[in-house]
Amino acid sequence: MSAAPDPAPSEPTAAERVRSVLAQAESLSLTTQGQSYDLIGMLSVGPGGRISLHPPADSPLAVRVATAPLGGLAALLDFTDIAPTAMRERVRARVTLSGWLTPAEADASGGPVRLDLARVTLRTPAGAEDVALDAYAVAEPDALAVEEAAMLTHLADAHEDLVAELLLLAGPQVPPGVLRVAPLAVDRYGLTLRCEYERGHCDLRFLFGAPVRDGAEAGEQIRRLLTGRRCAHRHDAPIN
């Protein structure tokens, strides 16, 4: 008897979520030995997820890396993934990368530095998960990662009627007493709405008919949801 095929995925993997957070990141918090830095616009992610930082050549961080006694500076890089639309509890995920910062070039005395990665951790409301380095290296950002913020903002600002129709489509899955509904996330597999109550919230996940490749296909799949597809599952926070 042949084994049953694995079910089709319904959401990005943890490694893909990490890569998606990095693809959208404009800022990060860096902690080294006794020092903290808030860096804006200094991150680049290369093939295989290789992390580079680009502080000014004469900055304290670049100097510390260049003069590290053991050739590398232990560091933690923290990224916070925040929903682009207004809502309570906007933090969707936190990503922590740990490793050693070293000069990007062997003879560099300052300037770009790279992170020799040792550990990747993803924290979401569902809990914390260590992501294997090989899985991180081969993963790609979700197809909608770069477009997501603009898509969700447009959906919230220009299509309140569509959001309301999706809420009606969810039917009995939605506990009574909803005060506000806002788009929380969208990826190639589906759209998530946040339903807020006086206390607590629930998140509704609507699965697309097929994974999408870009924002245009996602828009079409969202419209198709209104023809009768039910939401796949619900994630609850305390509702009192």
CB–CB of 148/24 below 8 Å? yes
CB–CB of 216/144 below 8 Å? no
Q: For 73-104, how does the pLDDT look when each residue is reduced to its tens digit (9 = 90+)?
A: 999 999 999 999 999 999 999 999 999 999 98
Task: Return all residues near 45 (Cβ < 8 A) that are at least 6 apart.
Answer: 19, 22, 23, 51, 52
What tokens does 33 get?
């030995």
In the chain, domain spans: 14-138, 148-236
Give the mean pLDDT of 58-85: 91
What's residue 239's pLDDT? 47
Tell me the CATH number for domain 148-236.
Answer: 3.20.180.10
- Residue 102's nearest CA partner among 50, 46, 62 is 62
Q: For 99-154, how does the pLDDT look when each residue is reduced to its tens digit (9 = 90+)?
A: 999 998 766 566 789 999 999 999 999 999 999 999 999 999 999 999 999 999 99
CB–CB of 20/145 below 8 Å? yes
CATH class of 14-138: mainly beta
Task: Quote the mean pLDDT of the chain.
Answer: 90
DSSP 8-class letter at 49: G
CB–CB of 101/118 below 8 Å? no
